[in-house]
Amino acid sequence: MNRVMKIGAHLFLCLFIIIMLLPIYLAVVAASHEGSLLMHTRLPYTPGSLFFYEYESGLRAGVSGNRGRAAI
């Protein structure tokens, strides 16, 4: 019984953490897809291929609207 309760507690905690981290996961997924995709279709559940590209351009040139220009 004690063991069952222990596993149950772990399961509950893991489930709660998944729910709590869902919005942060969404931010990661949204950051890895083309910006125009987010406005027109439902966001895919898995990360896309642009993850590193988006972060690199974000760090180099600021927000996406500023790509190609130096960050001020």
Partner 1 sequence: MSKFNHQRQYVWLFILPQIIITLIFFIWPAANALLQSFFYTDAFGIKQRLAYFSNFTDLFADSGYIEAIKVTLILAFSITVVTMTLGLLLAALVKARHKSQKIYKSLLIWPYAVAPAVAAILWRFLCHPTLGWITSILQNWGIEFDYVNHTNQALLVIILSASWQQFSYNFLFYLAAMQSIPATIEDAAVLDGANSWQCFWHIIFPLLSPTTFFLIIMNFMYGFFETFGIIQVMTHGGPGASTTNLIYKVYQDGFEGMDLGSASAQSVLLMFLVIAISLVQFKYIEKKVHYS
Contact by Cβ (8 Å): 31, 44 = no
Query: Residues 5-18, buried b or exposed e (16+ Cβ, 10 A)?
Result: eeeeeeeeeeeeee
One-letter amino acid identity for 7?
A: I
* Position 28 contacts partner 1 (CB under 8 A): no
* Position 15 contacts partner 1 (CB under 8 A): no
Q: Which is nearer to partner 1, 43 or 71 (CB)?
A: 43
Query: What is the rounded distance in angstroms from the CA atom of residue 18 to the CA atom of residue 10?
Result: 12
Please identify which residue in 7, 12, 35, 64 interacts with partner 1, judged by CB under 8 A.
12
* Position 42 contacts partner 1 (CB under 8 A): yes
Residues that bind partner 1 (CB under 8 A): 9-10, 12-13, 16-17, 20-24, 26-27, 30, 38, 41-43, 45
